[in-house]
Amino acid sequence: MDENQAREYPSLNPMERCSEEMSALSEEPPQRWIAGEAPCLPRNERIRLVILGLGLLALLVGFLLYLFSRTVLPLFGTVVVAFLGYRRLDAWLDAEEWSRY
Residues 13 and 51 in one domain: no
Residues 12 and 52 in one domain: no
**pLDDT-based confidence at 11, cuts 50/70/90?**
low
Give the global pTM.
Answer: 0.56
| Average pLDDT estimate for 75-79 | 90
**pLDDT-based confidence at 97, cuts 50/70/90?**
confident
More reliable by pLDDT, 50 or 30: 50
Residues 26 and 67 in one domain: no
The pLDDT score that the predictor gives to residue 60 is 93
- Beta-carbon contacts of 82 under 8 Å, excluding residues fewer than 6 positions away, are 55, 58, 59
Residues 21 and 48 in one domain: no
Range of the domain at 76: 43-100
